[in-house]
Amino acid sequence: MINAESFTRRMAAAPPLVFIVVAGLFSFLAYCCIYAFRKPFTAGAYQGLELWGIQFKIVLVTAQVAGYALSKFIGIRIISGMAPNQRTKYLLGLVGVAGLSLFGFAVTPFPWNAAWMFVNGMPLGMAWGLIFSYLEGRRVTEALAAILCVNFIISSGFVKTTGKWLLDAQGVSEWWMPFVVALLFLPALLVCIWVLKHLPSPSEADKAHRTPRNKMSAAECRALFWRYAPGLVLLVATYLVLTIVRDVRDNFAVEIWDELGFKGQASILTTAEIPIAICSLLAVGAMMFVKDNFRALWLNHALAILGAVLLFGGTYLFQIGFISPVFWMISSGFGLFLPYILFNGVLFDRLMASFRERGNVGFLMYVADSIGYLGSVAVLLWRNFGAGAMSWLDFYIKLCYLGAALCVGLMFLSWFYFFKKQQSLLS
């Protein structure tokens, strides 16, 4: 048995690179296992099934995203106000509820089992904030966040590949497959949570560079938002757009790849995401070498704009036949996930540090997340009732164009606002 106190002391004394490897690896694996409770059901097609005239898979995705969105609104208060010693018990409780919901999905008859997807989304919406709270406020937060955020790219494809393997090779039904995937990943998740629980708190040097990260009262949350309301509205609007595009790409990846000519090739769901993960990891992780917080904040804006340009340009080159479907999914995926990863901790962490704000990133992240997933639900419903004849591939292409254009404009306005805010502090 590893001694917890000894592990914490050794990690506190470890060189930065060792801490990055250990903390980054186990946070990455922890959230990968969380994905096993959330995403495997999307590997199923549920063909020929409808509810109230809506494709059953859209019903399931919408129900889960609705629960996820509600969880984000609840998390605005819970995550920002949570003390460090409460994280682990909350995380274990949330995972337990999510696992039981997948069991309920398996044993409840169609179509009533769709309600369990709403229950599944409710607890999992707060898991990201809990895991990131172990990592924020450190001088190496960018590197840790980059490793953790690779989950958005790889883990979903990996658990869907696992789900497809269970469906195609092992004969597991679409109803039981999500629960079986969750059971396969549960032991690794418990080990990862133990490691995260016993990581040392940010050092005094970390606090001096990034400001201390404390739980926030409701009044402190409101005051922080109103101090930067115009800029935060622009950032939240950008994240809303990114979430919508990312959710369509993620939840309906199987359908998009099928339309691109890769039907039956389950491995493509994972292999095509690996180059995206590597490029995103290098780009975001390198930000930890930028010591000046304001310079890092401006670079975050520039990288987000660059990502949007890649998303737009890659889609155009694919449509005119200049690049292959695989290269398009990789290049546009990098353009999408680069700004998406920046928003999930790194950009807000630097924003807090630049303006020397106390508190925690969880509040800002969950404001953005709650709006983002609410928008995702609305778009899914519109897709079914307003654009039902459009294929998922065509729908995704149109979202790429529109989303990229909006992100460029919104991020430029955000930079202008916060730059003026910085100048007013210096004058």
CA 222, CA 78: separation in Å to the nearest integer?
Answer: 14
Higher pLDDT, 309 or 285: 309
Amino acid identity, position 41: F
Domain count, the chain: 1
pLDDT recorded at residue 120: 92
Residue keyed to tokens 């609007």: 237
Higher pLDDT, 127 or 209: 127
Q: Is residue 375 part of a domain?
A: yes
Quote the pTM value: 0.75
Helices (H) and strands (E) in the chain, counts: 20, 2
pLDDT recorded at residue 2: 65
pLDDT recorded at residue 303: 94
Beta bridge partners of 50: 55
Provide the CATH number for the domain around residue 272.
1.20.1250.20
pLDDT tens-place string over residues 261-279 = 888 776 777 788 888 888 8
Q: Is residue 240 part of a domain?
A: yes
Higher pLDDT, 270 or 324: 324
Average pLDDT over residues 102-127: 90
pLDDT recorded at residue 212: 62
Average pLDDT over residues 398-426: 92
Give me the chain's average pLDDT, please.
85
Using a pLDDT cut of 90, give the percent of the chain over it.
31
Higher pLDDT, 193 or 171: 193
Amino acid identity, position 284: V
In this predicted structure, which of 255-269, 307-321, 389-403 has the lowest mean pLDDT?
255-269
Highest mean pLDDT among 16-25, 279-288, 378-387: 16-25
Main-chain phi, psi angles of 213, to 5 degrees: -110, 110
Average pLDDT over residues 53-82: 81
Do the beta carbons of residue 366 and residue 129 sit within 8 Å?
yes
pLDDT recorded at residue 345: 65
pLDDT greater than 60 at residue 1:
no
Average pLDDT over residues 173-186: 92
Average pLDDT over residues 228-250: 91
pLDDT recorded at residue 381: 75
- Render the burial of 356-387: b for 16+ CB within 10 Å, e for the rest: ebebbbbbbbbbbbbbbbbbbbebbeebbeee
Q: Is residue 295 part of a domain?
A: yes
pLDDT recorded at residue 210: 63
Q: Is residue 300 part of a domain?
A: yes
Q: Is residue 359 part of a domain?
A: yes
Do the beta carbons of residue 161 and residue 184 sit within 8 Å?
no
pLDDT greater than 60 at residue 375:
yes
Torsion-angle region of 261 (φ positive above 0: left; ψ -120 to 50: alpha; else: beta):
left
Give the burial class of 422: count Cβ atoms within 10 A of its Cβ; 0-12 exposed, 13-18 middle, 19 or more buried.
middle
pLDDT greater than 90 at residue 370:
no
Average pLDDT over residues 378-400: 79
pLDDT tens-place string over residues 79-95 = 777 777 788 888 899 99
**What is the DSSP-derived secondary structure letter of residue 342?**
I
Average pLDDT over residues 143-169: 79
Average pLDDT over residues 128-141: 79
Do the beta carbons of residue 214 and residue 356 sit within 8 Å?
no
Q: Is residue 427 part of a domain?
A: no
Q: Please, where are the H alpha helices in 169-258? A: 177-197, 204-210, 218-227, 229-251, 253-257
Q: Are strands 54-55 and 50-51 parallel, antiparallel or unpaired?
A: antiparallel
pLDDT recorded at residue 318: 93
pLDDT recorded at residue 347: 87
pLDDT greater than 70 at residue 385:
no
pLDDT greater than 80 at residue 217:
no
pLDDT recorded at residue 400: 94
Query: Quick one: which of 82, 136, 120, 75 has its CA closest to 368?
Result: 75
pLDDT recorded at residue 361: 74
What band does 137 get if pLDDT is binned at 50, 70 and 90? Answer: confident
Torsion angle, alpha carbons of 65, 97, 158, 392, to 10? -20
> Can you give the residue range of the structural domain that contains 196?
4-422
Q: Is residue 264 part of a domain?
A: yes
Amino acid identity, position 187: P
User: What distances in angstroms separate CA 88 from CA 24, 98, 195, 251, one per listed residue?
Assistant: 17, 15, 11, 28
Beta bridge partners of 213: 359
Q: Is residue 62 part of a domain?
A: yes
Handedness of CA 407, 412, 413, 415 (dihedral sign): positive
pLDDT greater than 80 at residue 214:
no
pLDDT recorded at residue 427: 67
pLDDT recorded at residue 390: 77
Torsion angle, alpha carbons of 349, 352, 356, 357, to 10? -130
Amino acid identity, position 293: N
